[in-house]
Every structure is written in structure tokens, then in C-alpha cells.
Chain A
Amino acid sequence: MRVGIRVSDPLVLESVLSRVPAGWIRLQASVVDRLYSVVTPLVRRRNVRHFCVLYGDHTRLCRTERIEDILDHFESDLDLHIAANSQDRLFIHAGAVSWKAHTIVIPGRSHTGKTTLVAEFLKSGAAYYSDDFAAVDPAGYLHPYPRDLSVRTQCNGFERIRPEEFGAARAQPRPISFVLLTEYLEDGRWGPSPVSRGQGMLRLLENTPSARKQPGFALGVLHKAVESAEIHQGWRGEKEQTVRAVLNYLDGRSLT
């Protein structure tokens, strides 16, 4: 996938490139799939508000005084664009970690508590695949798509935390072994029940941005991905209890 980036201030380019997923290569291409433009004020005048603007192709995506907001928006839009258009990987909107020989996938849209659980798994010693998008190859193997975790703060803001700060190692490509379909419920108690592979696939499909565009590919990859996976569904209460229960279960004990 070819992505073009242009900036009005060359000093901003490094910051923008730091938000591109690892493994990118520089190309001399005149045609790109998506062009991002970052416009920042070059001259600063007193008593004037200076805005930074981000465009995706011809659409204005974000206008703000903080360059950090522009970078966050760029990263989020780029991830979504990759997820919706990738031809060789299937991206599921999910957090993913590995624990010993097990891989755990937690599908869900933004702000459904994926990051909270991923962070808690990492604190408990799990290795890291991704916080927001799980990348699966056509053979059904999960690959790392490492991004900093956007952890919600008490003031409804977000704090970016590098996975290394939790002491988390990068996980190795593996088949999915455990899918956790869960959402936070105030005063909720952790009591999951197993779900059939078909029902589980339906939920994963719902969180696959490319499903509408390439349903055949999505179904094929998801089928492979859940072939040997256990799928459990249930409300969750506090993150610590949920994570402890899942890790205990994977270590051979009860899931509740």
C-alpha cells in the first residue's frame, strides 16, 4: 500500500514518520493510495491562534492547535486505511496479547475497554501483539502490529504508553487460541460462556474493517484463524479480576 505524506514544515516530517507502522519503506512514487497533508503555521504572531490542519486526500480530517492531536489523528486514520484496504493481511479491530503458548484476541471497537484489558495483560507478563488492530495472515497466524497504547486517563484524556514500559516483549506469529468477547459493565461480574465458532466468527467479522470490501477474503482468513480457537463471551467487571481469571484458565484452571 502506497501512502504519500507532505508537510508544510520539514521539521514536522520526522514526527509524522514516527507514527507510520514499523516496516515501511521509502518509495519514489507519483501515484499513491492515500495522500496526507500536514499544514502547520510557519510564522507565529502574537495574539493570533495558530492552527495545524491534517488532510486525508481532499478531506480535512482535523484542525487543532496541538500538533500531538494531529499526529494522533494521522496515526488512527492511517491504521484504519491500512485495515480497510490491506490485501495480504486481515485486520481485526482487536487487542491481542500472548501468554505462554496461547494467543488471546479481544475484539471490539474503540473505547470498549480493549486497551484497558491489554494493558492489564501486559502488566501480568503477557507479550504484546497490538492494542487496536490484530493483523492475521491468510494462514490464520496472528502477527504483531505494535502501537503505543492509548490509555484513557481519569480526566477523559489519553496517555500514550509504550508497551515496553510494562516490560512487555513483542509476541511471535502464532495461530489464535483464545477469543474473548467482552465489554465492561458497571457492577458486572465475570461469568463467561463458550460461544460456537460460527457465532464467534460473526463477531470478529463485525470488527473487520475490510469485511464489506473483500468478504470472501475476510471469511477465509477468519475461518482459518478460529479453526482451533476457544471463544468465550460475557460481561466483565473490573479488569484485574477478568485478566486473572483468563490467565488462570489458560494455565489449566476454571475460567470463572
Chain B
Amino acid sequence: MSKQEIQHESRSPRFQQRKLIARTIGDELLLFDEETSTAHCLNGIAGEMWMACEGRSSAAAVTEFLRSRWPDIEEEVVWVSLSRMAAAGLLEEMIDAENISAGRRDLLRKLGLTAAAVVPILVTSILIPPAAAAASPCGGLASLCGSGKPPCCPGTHCANVLGTLVCVLNT
């Protein structure tokens, strides 16, 4: 590793798994967050990424790990995916804002638009409704809502997504 690479590696943000209940279902990984009562289903590559963050891992280290199965995967794409998982509450991101150069921010912005198309990373999340919600008809995440449909469950609200009214997570 060159001096420049070592410097880059030491300044990179680190990602670490949050304490979630994890269960492998075939190729997929199911995660349950007890704090937010949210469940997530990660497809094969997303699950591997999450598993690779057992310790404090940089995007470079995770990329290296993934290349045994996905030789063409790019570090920047991994980095964006890990950042997104961190934003979804699956990973903790340890970051020093001063170390992120403007160029890297631009890259993140650009890749943010294309990463999903480059690598088929899929994370599906649902909010588990309280037990009492089972008694009353309420629309879960992504359920149709609006006129003639049940109201959205607690923690979600009705929003227009691409012309269709569906229940989405409160932000």
C-alpha cells in the first residue's frame, strides 16, 4: 500500500454494525431494530456488506471483502451503499467531517444517483405496528391509502408517490 493510500485509508469514514437482531434466510439477511421496531430485509450483496462491518470497517476494507464474490465492485459504490445503510439506521458511521474533501462530496452526490443502478443493492424496511394495530385496519408501509382505504398505521403517513397515494414512513 502506497503512502497516499495509507493516508486515504486512515481518513476514510468507518462503518460498524448497529446492535440489531440478525437472521440469515437463504441468501438474504433479516434485521430487526428493537429501538425503532423496524425490520429490514437485505438482499445478498447488501447482507454481505452489513456482515463485513462487524468491526469498524472502511469502505475499502468492505470492498476488498466483497471482491471475492463480486470482483467488479467499485469502492465508491460500496461507500455510497454503506452510507445509505447508515442513514437507514443499519450501521453506525464514524466520520470526521473535516476529512471529507469537496471532491468526495461531489462523488457521493453523483454516485447517489447512479449507485442503485450499478449494483443491485436492495434493502426493504417495514415498521412493525403495535399489537393493537392488528385489531384495527390500518395501512402498513407501502399500502395504498386515501379515499376508501384504511388510514396509515402509526409511524407512517399517506403521501403521493409517483401519482399513487401510499403509506410512507414519517421522517
Are A and B co-members of a single complex? yes
Contact of A177 with B by CB under 8 A: no
How close is A229's CB to chain B, nearest CB, in angstroms? 11
How close is B141's CB to chain A, nearest CB, in angstroms? 8
Output the nearest chain B residue to A220 by Cβ-Cβ distance. B23
Complex Cα spacing A216 to B39, Å: 12
Contact of B130 with A by CB under 8 A: yes
Complex Cα spacing A196 to B42, Å: 11
The range of chain B's interface size is 20 to 34
Complex Cα spacing A109 to B141, Å: 13
Interface centre among B32, B39, B137 (most CB of A within 10 A): B39
Given A109-B137, A206-B126, residue A215 in contact with residue B32 (CB < 8 A): yes
Contact of B161 with A by CB under 8 A: no
0/1 string, A196-213, CB within 8 A of B gives 1: 111101110111111111
Given A93-B134, A109-B138, residue A198 in contact with residue B25 (CB < 8 A): yes
Cβ-defined partner of A198 (8 Å) among B28, B133, B134, B138: B28
Output the nearest chain B residue to A73 by Cβ-Cβ distance. B135
The answer on a CB contact under 8 Å between A197 and B28 is: yes
Interface centre among B21, B32, B131, B140 (most CB of A within 10 A): B131
Output the nearest chain B residue to A219 by Cβ-Cβ distance. B23
Contact of A245 with B by CB under 8 A: no
Of the listed stretches A19-27, A62-70, A76-84, name the one at the interface; the rest are far from the partner chain: A76-84
Chain A residues proximal to chain B, CB less than 8 Å: 76-77, 80, 83-84, 93, 109-112, 196-199, 201-203, 205-213, 215-216, 219-220, 223, 226
13 extra A-B contacts, CB within 8 A, seeds A80-B135, A196-B28, A206-B140: A76-B135, A109-B136, A109-B138, A110-B137, A197-B25, A198-B26, A198-B41, A205-B128, A212-B128, A215-B34, A219-B21, A219-B30, A226-B25
20 contacts between A and B (CB under 8 A): A80-B132, A84-B134, A109-B150, A112-B137, A198-B25, A198-B43, A199-B41, A201-B30, A202-B39, A202-B124, A205-B126, A206-B39, A206-B128, A206-B129, A207-B134, A209-B134, A212-B37, A212-B128, A215-B128, A219-B30
